[in-house]
Amino acid sequence: MLVVTVLYCTLKNLLKLDFVAGGACPSKATIPGKTVIVTGANTGIGKQTALELARRGGNVILACRDMEKCEAAAKEIRGETLNHRVNARHLDLASLKSIREFAAKVAEEEEHVHILINNAAVMRCPHWTTEDGFEMQLGVNYLGHFLLTNLLLDKLKASAPSRIINVSSLAHVAGHIDFEDLNWEKRKYDTKAAYCQSKLAVVLSTKELSRRLQGTGVTVNALHPGVARTELGRHTGMHSSAFSSFTLGPVFWLLVKSPQLAAQPSVYLAVAEELEGVSGKYFDVLKEKAPAPEAEDEEAAKRLWAESARLVGLEMSHGSTERGQPLPE
C-alpha cells in the first residue's frame, strides 16, 4: 500500500509540475554557414542540440572536457547529418585557464560566432571545488560560462545579429544568491541549494548582460529545458537504493523527456526568426515566462555581475578587462 501511495504521489507531482511539457521546435529555420558553439555537447541535451543545429546547416563546435567522448560525438553527428563542419574542441569549465585558451583559439581560428549555447552543467555533486577554488556547481554552471561569454563578446558583436542562449533550470525558483558566501566556505554544504543558486545566477546574469548588450545586435536569453533522461542526474541518488532504482526509477524514466525533446528549447532560441531581437527573457521550455522574483532584481543582478567579474579576473583596473577593453556598462 505504501508503494502504491508513493507512486501515486510521484505521478501526480510530476504531471502537476509539467515535466513532460513541450514538443518539437516550431521553427523550421535553417542556419547555413552560421558558426555555433555548444558547451557540454558530447552527451545528453548538448549533443542533441548540436545534432539538430548541424542538421540545419550550422558550423558547429562541440566544446567539451572529455575529448574522447567529444570526438566520438562529433564523428557521430557528422555521419548522421552529412554535415562535415562539426568539430570537437577542448573546454574545461572548471578551469579558467582552459576557458581562456578555448576563447583565444576561437578568436584566432573562427571568423564569426553567431550562436553561443551555454549548456554544460553539473548537478548536485559532492562538495567539490574547481581548479580555481570555486564551488563546483557555481563554477561550472555559472562562473565558467560567465567568463567564456565575456571573452567571446567581441566575436559575437562582430558577427551580429548573434545570440547567446543560457541553459538554466526551473530549480532557479528555489535558489538564493548568498553574496556573503557564494562558494559555500562558511556554511554547511547543501548540494541541492548550491545547484539552485547556480541556476538562479544564470538567469540573473542573463538579465544584466541583456541590458549591457542593448544596441549591439547580440541577444541573450535563458531557458528551462524540462527534465530529461541524461547523465546530469547521476549524483542525485535515484539509484542509491533498491526502492528508488526498481520502483521510482521506472516511473521517473517514463515521464521525463528524451534528450532530443529537451534540446528543442535551445534549438528554438537559437534559430527562430520570430525571436530576432528578443533579449533578456526566460523561457520555460518553448514559452516565455516570468522567472522567480529574485531573478528580476536589477540591483542583485548588477552586484552579481561585479562580483563574478572580480572572481574570474575580468576586472583589472578602472573596470577594464584583462585585454584592456572596457567591460560593458
Query: Catalytic site residues?
Result: 195
Nearest residue to 269 via CA among 166, 168, 199, 173 = 166
Query: What is the Cα–Cα distance from 231 to 233, expressed in whole angstroms?
Result: 5
Cα dihedral 188, 192, 196, 202 in deg (nearest 10):
90
In the block, which residue shows the cell 583565444?
Answer: 104
Query: What is the Cα–Cα distance from 320 to 328, expressed in whole angstroms?
Result: 9
Task: For residue 128, give the 3-state DSSP assignment.
Answer: coil
Task: For residue 315, give the 3-state DSSP assignment.
Answer: coil
Query: What is the Cα–Cα distance from 264 to 53, expressed in whole angstroms?
Result: 10
Q: Look at strands 287-289 and 282-284 and give their pairing.
A: antiparallel
Overall size of the chain counted in residues: 329
Task: Report which DSSP code applies to 244.
Answer: I
